[in-house]
Amino acid sequence: MSSTYDPLKCNVDCTCDKENMQCLYERQYAEMSSSSGLLGVDFISFGKESALKPQRATFGCETSESGDLFNQHADGIMGLGRGQLSIMDQLVDKGVISDSFSLCYGGMDIGGGAMVLGGISSPHGMIYAHSNPGRRYSKSSVLAFWDGNSPYYNIDLKEIHVAGKPLRLNSKIFNGNHGTVLDSGTTYTYLPEEAFRAFRDAVSQFRVGVITFDMFLNISYVDLVPHIKELAELIANELEVASDQVE
């Protein structure tokens, strides 16, 4: 046990273990993994190459996990979403970084990748998709630390293009309870049924050779919201994808 570690004592903002008087956490993910345990506070360091000095932060000490988190033997999860437990929000509230970050994956096998916490110099001509952090959501969808705003990175999805042609869809179908969400950890792309069918039919026109299986998975979990990960899409701005890039 770290000599600088302190358990987070029960308070009005957390779910409480009344026997030990400690704050608890529980998180469930779209692929049906879950993590739960106790909340604690200690110093978190960011490596020798970082200009950011070690900071005290609140984090979860896991006592139980299920699903892919368990099967993949993950060392842990660092939350970059919105909310009081997000490491980003904690560092921003401390005033040690600006309210922005950048994440680039380097691959599971070759390593590498980069993460920047705080301000960066944006490339010339950078166009940003609009995000709405003020979107309201149901208090019942989280177990603690609810402040009424969406914990997700919501974007305004206007159209989906396949081979340069827009699908005939009403943009309102993408504006559900959570809107359209960008999530780096989501395994699949989830779409409303109407958009799913239109996208499937459009992509199916570009099949090469004989394919004997369905390229798409029809999932009807009622508690899943539209997640957009890798998709030829128009996110309030134009993005062109040639037909030979659609697989």
| CATH, residue 47 | 2.40.70.10
Same domain, 33 and 72: yes
| Residues 19/3, Cβ–Cβ less than 8 Å | no
Same domain, 67 and 102: yes
Q: Is the pLDDT of residue 107 over 50?
A: yes
For residue 102, give its domain range.
6-117
Q: How far from chain centre, in Å, is Cα 23?
A: 24
Same domain, 17 and 104: yes
- Residue 195 phi/psi, 5-degree rounding, is -70, -40
| Residues 246/176, Cβ–Cβ less than 8 Å | no
| Residues 207/157, Cβ–Cβ less than 8 Å | no
Same domain, 102 and 150: no
Q: Is the pLDDT of residue 18 over 60?
A: yes
| Residues 56/94, Cβ–Cβ less than 8 Å | no
Residue 171's pLDDT band (cuts 50, 70, 90): confident
| Between residues 94 and 72, the one the model is more confident about | 94
What's the pLDDT at 22?
Answer: 93
Q: Is the pLDDT of residue 74 over 80?
A: no
Residue 195, CA atoms < 13 Å, CB-side half-sphere: 26
Q: Using CA atoms, how far apart are residues 245 and 37, in angstroms rounded to an integer? A: 44
What's the pLDDT at 223?
Answer: 42
Same domain, 88 and 160: no
Number of domains in the chain: 2
Residues 62-66 have a mean pLDDT of: 91
Same domain, 14 and 110: yes
Residue 52 located in a structural domain: yes
Residue 218's pLDDT band (cuts 50, 70, 90): low
